[in-house]
Amino acid sequence: MVFDFIEPYRIFVETPVFRLFSAKKVNKVHTDEITNGITLNKEGKELLIMALNEYMESETIRYKGRNQTRATAMQQDAHTFANALISNTIDDEK
């Protein structure tokens, strides 16, 4: 269920990742080799988290009739979804 909920927000992560790579801000300094591949190291993870936080918190978007950050929009949807689950659970117990 978590993966189903988060799917509409995938673009919120893909966009800053794409921007980092297209601007050539990620390089070998940010990665470590592992068996059969590479992984982000501490510096790479810090770069990604900073870019993601900036993208989620800096700009506002028009969402459900209000200007709000992407993070706020996602949190609002999470609350709405949680309340719907709680309501259905309570209704089923009666």
- The domain limits of the chain are 2-93
pTM: 0.76
Q: Write the pLDDT tens digit of every residue in 32-85.
A: 999 999 999 999 999 999 999 999 999 899 999 999 999 999 999 999 989 988
Between the alpha carbon of residue 9 and those of residues 2, 35, 38, 51, the distances in Å are: 12, 30, 25, 16
Q: Convert the pLDDT of each residue in 10-27 to its tens digit.
A: 999 999 999 999 999 999
Q: CATH classification of 2-93 is 1.20.120.920, yes or no?
A: yes
What phi, psi does 60 have (nearest 5°)? -100, 150
